[in-house]
Chains A and B, each alone.
Chain A
Amino acid sequence: MDFTIRAATLEDCKDISRMILELAEHEKVSDQIKITQRDLEQDGFSKNPFFHGIIAEVPEHFKSRDGHTKVGYSLYFYTYSSWKGRAVYMEDLYVMPEFRGKGIGKALMAKVSQLGLAAGCTQLNFTVLDWNKSSLDFYRKQGCWDVTADLGYHCMRCEGDALEHLAQGDL
């Protein structure tokens, strides 16, 4: 199947928002989505964007059952390793179920890698839930390694009241 991978534009935010929700449903956490299409537009397409996006698009005659031609996306941003320098973090990688198995996911991820290398990055990092066997298998097949399993790094987070108290210095 023909598809193209290109940089996301402001107009794509509606479809990205739709697919973010589809991915959240797959990860069983759709009630957690707090951002809107407008947040994506402001945060991804301003002078100092918080993220970059790429879109996978199919021609009209291959559109989805619901009439969509934008069938996958990856959202990424640049980060920094104090040991290795510039790095890229892939926040989301998603392909609509009816378009899987056609190389689209791999093409999206390859594009993020290519863009990262061009920007001088030496790592592509991301996270996966340990029960998500199909994704883990997909990634391992491409040659990545599990930093948490191999080195013991745990993902930690402060949010809500904990973040408020931390910022106010009262602990």
Chain B
Amino acid sequence: MKFTICPAKPEDCKDIERMIMELAVYEKMPDQVKISHKELERDGFGPNPFYQCVVAEVPEEHMSKDGHTKVGYALFFYTYSTWKGRTVFMEDLYVMPEYRGKGIGKALMATVAKVAKEQHCVRLQFSVLDWNKPSLDFYLAKGAEDLTAKEGWHFLRFHGIALDNLAQEAP
């Protein structure tokens, strides 16, 4: 099946919002999505964007059951390792279920990796839920390492009241 991978435009944000929700449903946490296409438009397009995004699109004749031609996306941003330097973090990688198995996920991830290399990044990092075996298998097959399993890294987070309380102690 033919498809294209292109940098996202502001008008893609409604489709990205739709697919973010589909991914959250898959990850069993749909109630956790708090942002909409408005925040995506504000934060992704401008002189200092918080993220970059690429979208996979199919021609009209292959549109989805619900009439969509934007069928996958990858959302990523630049980060930094004080050991190794410039890195990229892939926040989301998603392909609508009816379009899987056609190389779209692989092409999206390859695009992110290519952009990373062009910007002299030495690592591509992301996170996966431990029960998500299809995704874990997909990534491990591409040479990714599971740093939590291998080295014991844990993600920690402050949010809500704990974050407010912490900020109030700033000198």
Interface residues of A (CB under 8 A from B): 4-5, 20, 23-24, 29, 32-35, 39, 43, 48, 50-51, 75, 77-86, 89, 91-92, 106-107, 109-111, 113-114, 116-117, 122-131, 139, 142-149, 151-159, 161-169, 171
Known: A50-B86, A127-B154, A142-B158. A113 touches B167 (CB 8 A): yes
Report if B8 contacts A (CB, 8 A): no
Q: Is the interface of B mostly helix, strand, loop or mixed?
A: mixed
Known: A156-B128, A156-B146. A107 touches B79 (CB 8 A): no
Interface residues of B (CB under 8 A from A): 20, 23-24, 29, 32-35, 39, 43, 48, 50-51, 75, 77-86, 89, 91-92, 106-107, 109-110, 113-114, 116-117, 122-131, 136, 139, 141-149, 151-159, 161-171
- Contacting residues, chain A, for B166 (C-beta < 8 A): 109-110, 113, 124, 142-143
Ordered by A's residue number, 18 sampled pairs between the chains whose C-beta atoms are within 8 Å are A50-B78, A77-B79, A82-B75, A83-B24, A83-B29, A86-B50, A91-B80, A110-B170, A125-B157, A143-B158, A143-B162, A154-B127, A154-B128, A154-B129, A156-B146, A157-B124, A164-B117, A166-B113
Since A89-B79, A153-B155 are in contact, a sample of 11 more A-B pairs with Cβ atoms closer than 8 Å, ordered by chain A residue number, is: A5-B171, A34-B83, A75-B82, A79-B79, A84-B32, A124-B166, A126-B157, A145-B162, A153-B127, A163-B117, A167-B116
Known: A107-B171, A147-B154. A43 touches B86 (CB 8 A): yes
